[in-house]
A and B are shown apart, each in its own frame.
Chain A
Amino acid sequence: MKVLAIVKTELTRTFRWRANIFFLLIMPMGLILLLGVAFGNSATRIGVVEKEKGQLASQLVATLGNQPGLDTKSYDNLGSLERAVERGYVSAGLVLGSNYDQRLQAGKAVTIRYFARPDSTAPQIRVALESSVAAQGSALVAARIVHSEQGRSFKSALRRVNAVKATAPVGVSLLAAGGGKYPTGGGQFQQSASTQLLLFAFLSALNGAVWLIETRRLGVARRMLSTPSSSREIMLGIVLGRWVITLLQAAMIVFFSWLIFSVHWGDPFGTGAIILVFSLVAVGAGVLIGSLCSSAQQAGPIAMIVGLVFAAIGGSMEPLQYFPATMRKIAHITPHAWANDAFGTLLSNGGNLANVWLDVVVLGAYAAVLLTLATWRLRRVLTT
């Protein structure tokens, strides 16, 4: 009852300050959008000029467009395609000549013009293009054999080869590392949503240090101790209050990122466990800072610096997979890295709670240590 009274008062005070709505919800959603655009795995676009809309040319373009992570966009002429590549509207350009179909059907070689922006996607697009050309080339060779040996027309032979090829027994399907279904929802915002959830949940909980110092400065915390309430009830109320606020923020980010950006949060038990335990870590850190610092002016910047540095090291500003191997190891001194690993397993690889148990245990250990230190220190500050 007394604990709930403290929790209710913490909630009332937090949401009475309207600026908190901005920091708790609107800012994280804005950054999810921003980082989703910057680091999201959106499809790479290739501009195509088909000088003659022949069947074989269209087939090649369609094969290329069906490659995972690739999209094609048609351009009328070479000049507009070159400008689009230069300005980065598309990553590469492909020009199929006016006699593409005619020369291939006649068994002659054709040259495809390909140009790309000087970035890391160019070699990948080239590989995709070469595999599409190779696929079409093998079908053409087979059709030519059928044409010459069975006396069918080349077009008929090619149709026959394509029909057989469609039922070919060898196929490739993309699965998650654990063998589950590879998730396709959420697209480019999938990763930014989880990283920003961690960044902001941690920052908000650390900001609780300022609220705690304010409660101490106002003398309310000390006054609570003069009531017939045990210091354990008061500590529990303070910690629980900050935890509920952090969880509410996380729940809002999960809900609105699903609603607005179609982010799929994976296994609810796994995701729930990570959010619950990571929030406890954050609250423990916040209460510890709040009990170590003597003024809000001191605690505010410290909370901000700790929150941002941990987020940067722990992969909440730039995904961990972009870090060098050594840096990835160092990153795991932060709880963010463990939580980001867990979200990677849950959201990108279709994992479940059983796949992230180690991350949950490590985060639980962080929480236990920080909360023990924080409540010990807070009690000392309030009663001496």
Chain B
Amino acid sequence: MNREQNSSVLHCEGLRKRFGEIEAVRGVSFEIAPGESYGLLGPNGAGKTTTISIVAGLLEADAGEVTVAGNRLTTKSVAAKAAIGFVPQDLAIYPDLTARENLSFFVKLYGLRGKANRARVKEVLEIIGLSERADDQAKKYSGGMKRRLNIGIGLLHSPKLLILDEPTVGVDPQSRNAILESVEQLSGQGMAVLYTTHYMEEAERLCDRVGIIDRGELKAEGTREELVALLGEHDKVHLTGSGHLEAAAKACAEIDAVEAASVGQESIELLVEGASAILPEILTTASSAGVTVHSVEMEEPNLEAVFLHLTGRALRD
């Protein structure tokens, strides 16, 4: 183990996982320092959940190695798992138990006993804002409350590494904001966070560093600025219109300055070098391809543009 591994909470090296014919994870390597928030950004099916399952010790990798807080992690390694708090994408709580009972159950599985157990349950109830409803059955909670309880279970043993697998999927905007604030607070308290999402805004808001994953491969990683810098002088051009969008995107992609083009819902997204100069040509090409353009927007490069640049397709594809 090198010095770098010693100083990181999580170190993954060359992870690979195959399900039959499909290789879901292909040589993924990254690491997270104490107190750092690391986001795995990628569309559905990119390999985020499989990577997370390996990192949480739920799935054995076909190849590669995971080290958590200095301990090598496998599905059987109890010591490494003690440093991990795992919050799965789907709710993993007993709906017929109260929040207190759910927390009390899991806190025992994390090995806390007696007074420490009760005190920690009380603290976590405060953190997730469920103290007043602690003795109601979870099935009576709103979706957001259930999500908070789901996160609370992962916090019970004050883990060194908190793994959150798309915790805001299917959550109303208010609860989503509350969850994001909680994660920001936890990260500020020195807990390392591994956060998967396919929402660019969440990755930009929460994560110190982001790894862009697609088709099981980690395409790039770094801070937001480092990733955007990969684009060079590229701008993102967003056209909305009607007509033959596919044909127009294909035609636009053949323009030299256009790096990548993808079709969205009644829109085309382009990654363009020197967009101001080339914009008239883009509009003429789109129009010739049978598209009536309703509006044009030029945006500052963001992670979505980086994803488009790296993979040739939009994050939501």
Contact = CB atoms under 8 A, between A and B. Distances in A.
B108 A1 contact: yes
Nearest to A224: B109
Contact of B110 (A9, A16, A222, A227): A227
A226 B95 contact: no
B95 A1 contact: no
Contacts of B153: 223
Interface in A1-49: 1-2, 5-6, 8-9, 12-13, 16-17
A222 B58 contact: yes
A222 B87 CA distance: 11
B279 interface: no
A13 B78 contact: no
B81 interface: yes
Interface in A356-384: 383-384
Nearest to A234: B109
A9 B81 CA distance: 22
B96 A223 contact: no
B75 A225 contact: yes
A384 B56 CA distance: 13
B101 A222 contact: no
Contact of A219 (B78, B81, B91): B91
B56 to A, nearest CB: 5
B108 A219 contact: no
B30 interface: no
B180 to A, nearest CB: 22
A220 B92 contact: yes
B113 A225 contact: no
Interface residues of B, number: 31
B97 A227 contact: no
Contacts, number: 76
Nearest to B156: A227
Contacts of B257: none
A66 interface: no
Contacts of A162: none
Interface string B69-85: 00000011011011010
B107 to A, nearest CB: 9
Interface string B48-73: 00000000111110000000000000
A153 interface: no
Contacts of B75: 225, 231, 383
A226 B97 contact: no
Nearest to A8: B105
Contacts of A220: 92-94
A58 interface: no
Contact of B96 (A2, A16, A224, A226): A16
A228 B101 contact: no
A226 B86 contact: yes
B62 to A, nearest CB: 12
Most chain B CB within 10 A, of A222, A225, A228, A229, is at: A228
28 contacts: A1-B108, A2-B108, A2-B109, A5-B105, A9-B94, A12-B101, A13-B97, A218-B91, A218-B92, A218-B93, A218-B95, A220-B92, A222-B88, A223-B92, A223-B153, A224-B109, A225-B58, A225-B75, A226-B81, A227-B81, A228-B78, A228-B109, A229-B109, A230-B76, A230-B78, A231-B75, A383-B58, A383-B60
The list of the 6 closest CB pairs from A to B, nearest first, reads: A219-B92, A5-B108, A228-B82, A226-B86, A223-B92, A227-B109
